[in-house]
A = this chain, B = another copy of it.
């Protein structure tokens, strides 16, 4: 019997197609991933090619050159100049595409991926997320800041050199409004943050936990929309990513790295998207919103049903995904 589960954050129903559920091994990438060189002279993100990108907005240096660079996207979805004033066009509303679109080059090494960065480098990447989130929060055009990462061709990227992206947008998308609205309603009814409720419940149940450290837990949500969808959630309630504390930053880097490495090993380097679901920065301190990182491996293809209904069909069991990832042993790991 298929099962329909409700996502407690968005209140969306998800079909868990237990009858046609695939086994963990069915999701493991079959083809051998492309072998890449450590340096590619034609890659705009490799050292020596800094002139191929727009000038840096931020850089972290090491002993032998830069470790992380943040540059404006050369082909931006939104551009910095102008005022995001709404205008009427006949019966419609429009505005100029004002905002920020930046690229975070995560390492000088062409053939790394986030899962294989060393701990220190991973921490620099998370620091770059944090620094740019806080800096762009000061820009009046950046009402909402979306940080994301596309790994691999199926996840919509063309450049293989490890990078994340950041978009500062001049409006709150309905998608985010709905999160905020549903979390607010949960808080008004139950006097608690829904994500805090999820944390408490899931830690007690245990079956959907992937790993945890002092400040973060990584889990497969009860109503995961996609096979191997993972949320990385801070234990301490915080609405906006800018509320992250220094010791939490280190733990986030560690939880993110270990989670991605488990996916990397367990599914043989799957393509995935990663997004940071933060409230708008001016919502910092709100008691109902709780940011988290969402990782969605691209293992299946949403089709007409999803487009027409907005309902996902997950052909795997969240509990089975989590058990599989828990069983993936990391190099040098003693406990999960």
A residues with a Cβ closer than 8 A to B are 1-6, 8, 10-13, 15-20, 75-79, 82, 84, 90-97, 144, 146-150, 153-157, 165, 167, 169-171, 173-176, 178, 197-198, 201, 205, 222-223, 273-277, 294, 296, 300-305, 307-311, 313
Contact = CB atoms under 8 A, between A and B. Distances in A.
A139 to B, nearest CB: 17
Contacts of A155: 301, 303-304
Copies of this chain present in the complex amount to 2
A184 to B, nearest CB: 15
A308 to B, nearest CB: 3
23 contacts: A1-B82, A2-B76, A2-B79, A2-B96, A4-B97, A4-B170, A5-B94, A8-B91, A15-B78, A17-B77, A77-B305, A90-B205, A146-B305, A146-B309, A147-B308, A149-B304, A157-B303, A173-B311, A174-B310, A176-B310, A178-B178, A273-B303, A274-B304
A95 to B, nearest CB: 5
Contact of A176 (B15, B223, B309): B309
A15 B98 CA distance: 10
Given A156-B302, A157-B303, A201-B90, A308 B146 contact: yes
Contact of A96 (B4, B97, B175): B4
Contacts of A12: 173-175
A322 to B, nearest CB: 15
Contact of A97 (B1, B97, B223, B308): B1
Given A4-B95, A95-B4, A15 B77 contact: yes
Residue of A146, A157, A300, A303 with highest tally of chain B CB at under 10 A: A303
Given A13-B171, A148-B305, A5 B92 contact: yes
A182 to B, nearest CB: 9
Given A82-B1, A94-B3, A20 B75 contact: yes
A4 to B, nearest CB: 5
A153 B154 CA distance: 13
B92 A222 contact: yes
A91 B11 CA distance: 12
A19 B149 CA distance: 22
A310 B175 contact: yes
Given A4-B171, A10-B174, A79-B1, A97 B305 contact: no
A2 B97 contact: yes
Contacts of A223: 92
A91 B4 contact: no
Nearest to A166: B305
